[in-house]
Structure 1
């Protein structure tokens, strides 16, 4: 009998997945098209492959919550090539948003001649158009007074200032980006070729309050401080050896020892996770006076966070009794954050630990936060900054603050289990709702969902627009106090308030904020809306439902080939009083959404329209007249909402809102609100 010819399809899946990472995306897809066996989802949509391919090609940070979602990673890979866009919103002081048309000023330092100019803060997400010239944006983070972008080539660009306490507010060249530079002697010419140098091609970075840390492809740590145009410092340690490589090829097993896994820039602390050493802390580095030419800083004093060095090595023949005990009691660190006064880390045993900073960031001990332990022993994740953090476990999101950590720390001797210590919050709309990540500012935070939507929470100080909800009371923001701080009403925490990127929705909200079709008829309803927070909360929920899923309308849906919608957020960031996001924009679907908002208006006549003319809303200068009747700049057309009145609802307590128009229905049903949420 002739011997059967072996085929690659005979190999088991666990062998095939070891081969796939050696193929680029076109080669992998070509392989999958060769036979039906490779068309099965477990191969064609292998999560490990597409996660690796996306993160390798575009330097996208890992997202542990969705690391096993192969369909998502494949769609992101395909769309990032052409559709990634950068949006920012919130306080525009110091030019931190990167919007070229906006003027920047510092609080309390406004030029008297500009006092009567309109507020330049940005309450609605606005694209940073110059970012398109940088190519694909892999990551984006906010600092205290800045916003920084990482390109797929490993270059960092920043707008704003790194340290607003040190840099004069008027000592800036405007809102244009500046590339973070390196000391003399490193490649600094035009083009992308220079970033092929592994010592300066940044693979991961972190923005702190007033400094930035980056780790290069080679594993070298760089630190920027004070001003954007000051070259970075290469960070080295007196007592810790950093193992650098020459490429981005993964290293496994014992080869990881001394390699830098990630860096985290905290409020006033620098840190890195180093294999074999654990979490290392040090004070941010700066050049001393007279040492402007220095390119390296040798850090004399470092702090190693206790019990963070353990790593599980596959195939290890034996472990010491000490290592074995550490692996059973603490586990291997998966992720960590650095807050103002605490370091918090999670391990592969589903446990959460924290340590408090002492003098010079010293951490003498760490304690387990037992109330956050995952009883199923499956991994958890932690995200946070400044004074706030979130724990992700089993599709739950638990938010808290440093006050809770301090209470647990103070009780570590007499109440080590943390029984009945208050401070853990479970916001309803964050639970079992596909939350991937949370970005915290000083008083607000934003959640990114696996659906590509962003929801906003908290308070935007002095109506700066950090929530990204347009600053509108129709979205559930109530402005109070001398500074007109905008606080989200309790109604907004049951199902959330989505950050909208469609410009048509901005016009839609403006129309209803002015009373809709008949402002006089709606006058009493609007006064009721403005005077009663409960009424405002319910009406805002009605608008939230009406504003959702415009790109899922039957007239639009057929243009959405991959189902990600017109605007699909990849990441979200926040700090201080501003926010940002990287968003995949499907212009074909976005244009279809716009077209679906426009109809002919026989009452306004009709003008001839050329084939390439697009129906765009006109300039906002004449909004009062145009928006009041729902018209657009092109003669003969109007918005679909032009004939709609301000909503009239039957409220949850049975009260009928006044007016003569018919009652409005709830698109998805009136919610059962949870109004006792403490945020």
Structure 2
């Protein structure tokens, strides 16, 4: 009699989704044949388990990394933390400010978020930060529409409510009611869209008002009924795959219909919250986005031709004046959004086509976007789209100032990019977050420290009122630090010994600052390992899951291992009793109560002998920099500093 292991692997992979986690692990432990990585770490099984259990959004660039998804499943339940940094003028960071801070220059954990349970996703709006819990509830801090409401009355996260007649947004009630349990959401500049488990679209324009169920006059949406556990049980046509809130538009991708645009739903002035549904009278369907790929034998000749020339939509974004979408044959298309959200036609961006036909992704907001293909990350500007749109048919557009290949992002495990008004973040599959761009008024949006000194050793230079990442930093990137001990270490580097003003002027030389910041970057890269902290699964004490940015602020969901974090603190501090003979005031160098940093009495900042042979001044004995990963070959061909007005202005 044939055994289970005699079945082909492709058949086994079809069986596994029907097993719960406990049963799947038990099966894999029955014999060596089923314990091999191709089965035990099956990416389809674990990615589905993570997304289904915790509502974590899919990440197309790493969707085939089974080991990553399995590790995330094990740690998500207890270790997810929400960090924010940057401008806090509308309390959009969700910090315990007590009226003292209008910015956060280092990542700080949001107040009262742990009590909400597992956080599956977080996104920044223009003046807000919104969180999705694993139970399908939405909470927000700050103000959704900063043009209408100046101040938030609340410090902590507030639930996005539903109209009268629905459960009052308690997490338990939402989890049990598929019409209001949110499985995917999008935060625009000043409104939030949510897609429920049943396939219903909800829209919020204020945390003080209940959401509106969005329905269309001329587009039918198929929702699951009470007898269907999810839209997956239904035919594809008419199901909503994704909602996306843009700069001033709402949108959704609907199977068989395409990308649909409409004006954000709002109640009329004076209308009470009992209104639960908004019937959208005018919608726009984006041309060439309705194709659904079918088995070849079931397609007409016209469908086959369309599938080979355009393909099916994989993902799309909304910018200020344009939309961009990518298809499953590796092509990138864009269209101009006109009056009334009209998109009369779409055109291909042939310069961004993936000729290999393999996976491609697009991410972006406001005036910038990123194309992911074959390990490359290409940053595009809305101005480039405008040049292409206004050019004559067949006329080539110079991409040198409209498409950027930043060296630190190429073939460097980048899986997502998040854009603010003047800065952006990159998330690497290794759990690192790197920051680029500039901070208006030194608002802290890069997350690299306080201006000017703390972030100075990270390669950030003051340019009048703004803080600007210098061009040297785009060779390897500058990592955002989530561990408070590492932030204190960086502060010590920048302030001990206290440098005289003329010495800081010397460090403001870009070549000097570039090398110093690269040395700091290399010293911090394997910080946990250097401290001898044992890490069983390789994710480290802090492992970033996702990133978000908008306006002048940023955020990240991070897995934080309490055990490893405590070990790092222990390695970084010693008890005061070892220093009782000194005259030093312990409060000046305290790390934790009853302890001080091990580096408190050391000058860790080296004198520099730069690659060009120039030596920095000072009384300390000169010691050449010791490069852990070799002296960098800075790629300065593109003058980023003179390009900021185009890129981030």
Cα deviation, residue 300, structure 1: 0.9
Partner of 2:441: 462
Cα deviation, residue 640, structure 1: 3.1
Partner of 1:553: 530
Q: 1:597 aligns with which of 572, 576, 585?
A: 572
1: CA distance, partners of 2:593 / 2:95: 28
Partner of 1:235: 214
1: CA distance, partners of 2:418 / 2:229: 28
Cα deviation, residue 524, structure 1: 6.1
Partner of 2:489: 508
1:335-374 aligned at under 5 Å gives the runs 335-374=315-354
CA deviation string 1:241-264 (max 9, x = no partner):
100014554637x81100000000
Partner of 2:519: 542
Is 2:136 the counterpart of 1:154? Answer: yes
Q: Which runs of 5+ in 2 are unaligned?
A: 641-646
Cα deviation, residue 462, structure 1: 0.8
Partner of 2:63: 67
The 1:571–1:102 alpha-carbon spacing in structure 2 relative to 1, beyond 3 Å, is: farther
2: CA distance, partners of 1:190 / 1:127: 23
Q: 8 Å contact 2:122–2:557 — kept in the other structure?
A: yes
Partner of 1:92: 88
Partner of 2:562: 587
Partner of 1:616: none
Q: 8 Å contact 2:223–2:231 — kept in the other structure?
A: no
Cα deviation, residue 626, structure 1: 5.1
CA deviation string 1:50-89 (max 9, x = no partner):
0000000000000000000000000000000110001000
Is 2:615 the counterpart of 1:656? Answer: yes
Q: 2:186 aligns with which of 206, 209, 218?
A: 206
3-state SS of 2:633 partner: coil
TM-score by length of 2: 0.93
Cα deviation, residue 598, structure 1: 2.6
Q: 8 Å contact 1:448–1:569 — kept in the other structure?
A: yes
Q: 8 Å contact 1:91–1:577 — kept in the other structure?
A: yes
2: CA distance, partners of 1:262 / 1:633: 46
3-state SS of 1:166 partner: coil
1: CA distance, partners of 2:268 / 2:428: 44
3-state SS of 1:87 partner: strand
Q: 8 Å contact 1:497–1:544 — kept in the other structure?
A: yes
Q: 8 Å contact 1:214–1:223 — kept in the other structure?
A: yes
Q: 8 Å contact 2:412–2:428 — kept in the other structure?
A: yes
3-state SS of 1:495 partner: coil
Q: 8 Å contact 1:260–1:272 — kept in the other structure?
A: yes
Is 2:154 the counterpart of 1:174? Answer: yes
Is 2:266 the counterpart of 1:286? Answer: yes
Cα deviation, residue 412, structure 1: 4.8
Q: 1:673 aligns with which of 631, 634, 640?
A: 634
The 1:665–1:600 alpha-carbon spacing in structure 2 relative to 1, beyond 3 Å, is: farther
Q: 1:473 aligns with which of 456, 467, 474?
A: 456
Q: 2:27 aligns with which of 5, 27, 31?
A: 31
2: CA distance, partners of 1:281 / 1:189: 27
Q: 2:506 aligns with which of 528, 535, 553?
A: 528
2: CA distance, partners of 1:70 / 1:381: 20
Cα deviation, residue 174, structure 1: 2.6
Partner of 1:45: 41
Q: 8 Å contact 1:219–1:260 — kept in the other structure?
A: yes
Cα deviation, residue 635, structure 1: 6.1
Q: 8 Å contact 1:524–1:658 — kept in the other structure?
A: no
Partner of 1:317: 297
The 1:637–1:136 alpha-carbon spacing in structure 2 relative to 1, beyond 3 Å, is: closer
1: CA distance, partners of 2:165 / 2:480: 44
The 1:476–1:508 alpha-carbon spacing in structure 2 relative to 1, beyond 3 Å, is: same
TM-score by length of 1: 0.89
Aligned residues: 630
Alignment RMSD (CA, Å): 2.1
2: CA distance, partners of 1:420 / 1:97: 36
3-state SS of 1:192 partner: helix
2: CA distance, partners of 1:16 / 1:243: 32
1:573-584 aligned at under 5 Å gives the runs 573-584=548-559
Q: Which runs of 5+ in 1 are unaligned?
A: 104-117, 608-623
Mean Cα deviation higher: 191-200 or 450-459: 191-200
